[in-house]
Structure 1
Amino acid sequence: MDESSAQDAAAAAAAAFDFKLYRYTPSLPAAIVSVAVFAVLTALHTWRIFRARSFYFTAFTVGGLFQTIGYCGRIWSHFDTLSIGGFVIQAILILVAPALYAASIYMILGRLIRTVKAEHLSLIPVDWVTRIFVTGDVVAFTLQAGGGGVQAAGTLDLYEAGEKIIIAGLFVQIVVFGFFVVTSLLFHIRLSRTPTATALEGGTPWRRYLYVLYATSAIILIRSVFRVVEYLQGNKGYLISHEIFLYIFDTLLMAIVMAIFLVWYVQELEPKKRAQSMDGRETSGSSDYVLDERRKSVPLNV
């Protein structure tokens, strides 16, 4: 083989293994704004959790913390685009944070079903609603985090293997979310047709909460589809090569999810929240029981 042929072969090999952590320099202003936004949203959610004692929403707040630290990683990467540390921090934490949002979203449905005393209207036995969806979410989270860890090993082969694992995790997340939306819709339809006494009382804005679940689920699904397409295109793909898409289809959408739950909080679904009786006294019984007792106390006109 002559020298020119050897050079051509070397150039072809280099092109085949054209891998870069970033194909741009991460924007410093965008990363700083993202850190500030997610830090504020996370702090507000943390305050709300302790104020309302809604600790089942802790995973959601941890997701916000992951976002904050992840965008700190992008600040690091702005100053050193070749740093494995900054790249891994932002790649993994920003990737898996929505799975933590999803865990809290799944818990809301089970609590809502119990709150309106409509267990018989659920497609899935209510005791299994949270278990099934959170288990699926844990699988998705583990695959995505594990894939990110494999990518961090530092070789091209492992990076590509990690991509495949992450894509599998994203597909699991999409399937689980899709089934969750179907389950929520069927429950919504059934409860609208045959509302329980508790639902009719109007103490719990169950329709509003379901609309919140639909909106946030749709937003996370859009983000997950974006991530699947991004990873399917590979390291040289158009989406991953242009930073703007990350901020439109991930950063912005996840900030909206956090803002929605900050405005429309779900503390009325807390199991320890007690119904108020007519004279202002608290009762630990269900609102259906309170309603029945009031009916019994009304004298009959004979």
Structure 2
Amino acid sequence: MANDSSYVLYHYTPNLPCAILLAILFAFTTVFHLYQRIKAHSKYFNPFIVGGIFQIIGYGARAGSHFFMHSTILYAIQSLLILLAPTLYAASIYMVLGRIISFLHGEHLSYIPVKWMTKVFVAGDILSFILQAAGGGIMTSGSENTIKIGQWVIVAGLCVQLVFFGAFVITSLVFHIKIIRSPTIESERFMNKHGSIWPRDWRGVLFACYSASLLILIRSVYRLVEFVQGNHGYVMSHEVFLYVFDAAMMFLVMGVMNVFHPSFVLNEKAESPVSQPERNFQWKSDVEMQQHSFSSPRD
């Protein structure tokens, strides 16, 4: 971290109970995500789980900073890991959309080819990750001027994240509108006909992705304002903003994806809401045909 005396690691004493509580909450939801990933073999959620681990370590280091406020190592760990975790969430969410489109055989309804969709969005996410990580690394050492450079590199990374996330949300909405207007056989088959506020089918997964995206966008805007203002800005000087616009938002992201995990729909072994009635109908049809053959007069 900078040796410049004008740079202050914390403008407050990091709140110990809040840091411990967040570390515990993120540990709980991350373990649950790990269980869901293993059970459903959903490899596309690996980055999401790593993001959860980042949060656990980050808030654990932040709890340690309560006792060692001048430890640059603890400050760097918590700052970088909490900053980078959402980019890992985004990577998994990007991959979910492509899988939903392929699952519903709706490739013709997406204005971005599915074979390029995941690659494009994940590439933007990786670029954002690299920029934010590089900016965070620059901030951990050097003069005050170097720290300012690091802050603006992070701002660039956050801007990249916002652009790609905005494009992702638009892509999702366009596909959603098109498949409602021109449904595929699969989209109608894998649709829960029972009325509910949040359907437990592919629509529910899309709504979960929308919710997670909105929460990450809010958090990214907060971070953008924070780093534009700089180390002595009002936002960075008040810890409450971190817990309201970052910690709470990201915990909700993980919680929403726990409840509406994509594997409920995308797992090939999962039963669709209408598959069992269809089987019963098929079974009854077979029985009726057999009965008819036995009762029909012989030639």
TM-score by length of 2: 0.85
One of 151, 155, 158 as aligned partner of 1:163: 151
Do the aligned residues in 1 keep the contact of 2:16 with 2:66 (CA within 8 Å)? yes
Do the aligned residues in 2 keep the contact of 1:111 with 1:269 (CA within 8 Å)? no
- Residue of structure 1 in register with 2:8 after alignment: 20
Stretches of structure 2 lacking an aligned partner (at least 5 in a row): 193-200, 281-285, 290-299
Do the aligned residues in 2 keep the contact of 1:230 with 1:239 (CA within 8 Å)? yes
| CA shift for structure 1 position 202 | 2.7
| CA shift for structure 1 position 270 | 3.6
Task: Please give the alpha-carbon distance, in whole angstroms, between the structure 2 residues aligned to 1:200 and 1:47.
Answer: 30
Do the aligned residues in 2 keep the contact of 1:96 with 1:145 (CA within 8 Å)? yes
- Residue of structure 2 in register with 1:237 after alignment: 233
1:41 and 2:37 aligned: no
Query: Which amino acid counterpart does residue 35 of structure 1 have in structure 2?
Result: A
| CA shift for structure 1 position 273 | 3.9
Task: Please give the alpha-carbon distance, in whole angstroms, between the structure 1 residues aligned to 2:98 and 2:86.
Answer: 19
- Residue of structure 1 in register with 2:45 after alignment: 57
| CA shift for structure 1 position 154 | 3.9
Task: Please give the alpha-carbon distance, in whole angstroms, between the structure 2 residues aligned to 1:269 and 1:207.
Answer: 10
One of 116, 120, 131 as aligned partner of 2:119: 131
Task: Please give the alpha-carbon distance, in whole angstroms, between the structure 2 residues aligned to 1:217 and 1:67.
Answer: 18
SS of residue in 1 equivalent to 2:53: helix
| CA shift for structure 1 position 268 | 3.9
> How many residues are treated as equivalent by the alignment?
268
For 1:36-185, list aligned pairs within 5 A: 36-185=24-173
Stretches of structure 1 lacking an aligned partner (at least 5 in a row): 1-15, 281-293, 298-302
Percentage of identical aligned residues: 46
- Residue of structure 2 in register with 1:201 after alignment: 189
TM-score by length of 1: 0.84
Between 152-161 and 85-94, the greater mean CA deviation after superposition = 152-161
Task: Please give the alpha-carbon distance, in whole angstroms, between the structure 1 residues aligned to 2:108 and 2:184.
Answer: 10
Moved over 2 A (4+): 268-280
| CA shift for structure 1 position 274 | 7.4
One of 252, 257, 260 as aligned partner of 1:261: 257
- Residue of structure 1 in register with 2:296 after alignment: none
Distance 1:131 1:261, change over 3 A: same
Task: Please give the alpha-carbon distance, in whole angstroms, between the structure 1 residues aligned to 2:35 and 2:245.
Answer: 27
SS of residue in 1 equivalent to 2:111: coil
Task: Please give the alpha-carbon distance, in whole angstroms, between the structure 2 residues aligned to 1:198 and 1:139.
Answer: 35
| CA shift for structure 1 position 207 | 1.7
Do the aligned residues in 2 keep the contact of 1:177 with 1:221 (CA within 8 Å)? yes
| CA shift for structure 1 position 75 | 1.3
Query: Which amino acid counterpart does residue 150 of structure 2 have in structure 1?
Result: G
- Residue of structure 2 in register with 1:224 after alignment: 220
| CA shift for structure 1 position 189 | 0.8
CA RMSD of aligned residues (A): 2.1
Deviations 1:126-150 (A, max 9, x none): 1111011000000001100111111
